[in-house]
C-alpha cells in the first residue's frame, strides 16, 4: 500500500476510499458528485464520506506545512 496504493490489493470499500483520497490529494478541483456516489456505492454513509475527505485533507495540510517549513522526518526503525 505504501509503495503503490494504485495497485494494492484492496476490497471494494477500501479501493473506493484510497482512490478518492488520491484524487482529492492530486487534483482536488476534479472531485465531482460521481466520486461521492462511488463512495456511497461502496457502502460509505455520508458521515464516512465526510470523514474520508477530512482525513485526506488534514494529512495533505500537515504534510504541506511540514514541507513548507523544511521539517525533516525522524528515521524509521
Q: Is residue 2 part of a domain?
A: no
Q: Is residue 5 part of a domain?
A: no
Q: Which residue range forms the structural domain that includes residue 30?
A: 12-69
21 within a domain of the structure (yes/no)? yes
Q: Say what the pLDDT of residue 70 is.
A: 94
* CA–CA gap between residue 49 and residue 36 (Å, rounded): 7
pLDDT at 67 over 70: yes
Distant-in-sequence contacts of 4-13, Cβ < 8 A, 24+ apart: 12/42, 12/43, 13/42, 13/43, 13/44
* Residue 31 and residue 21 in contact, taking contact as beta carbons nearer than 8 Å: no
- Asked, for residue 44, whether it belongs to a domain, the answer is yes
Please tell me the pTM assigned to this model: 0.84
Residues 20-66 have pLDDT tens digits of 999 999 999 999 999 999 999 999 999 999 999 999 999 999 999 99
The reply to whether 31 falls in a domain is yes
Is there a domain that residue 38 lies in?
yes
pLDDT beyond 90 at 18: yes
Amino acid at each position: 500500500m505504501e509503495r503503490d496504493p494504485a495497485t494494492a490489493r484492496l476490497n471494494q470499500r477500501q479501493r473506493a476510499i484510497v482512490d478518492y483520497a488520491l484524487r482529492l490529494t492530486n487534483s482536488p478541483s476534479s472531485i465531482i458528485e460521481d466520486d461521492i456516489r462511488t463512495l456511497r456505492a461502496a457502502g460509505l454513509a455520508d458521515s464516512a464520506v465526510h470523514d474520508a475527505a477530512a482525513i485526506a485533507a488534514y494529512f495533505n495540510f500537515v504534510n504541506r506545512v511540514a514541507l513548507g517549513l523544511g521539517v525533516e522526518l525522524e528515521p524509521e526503525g
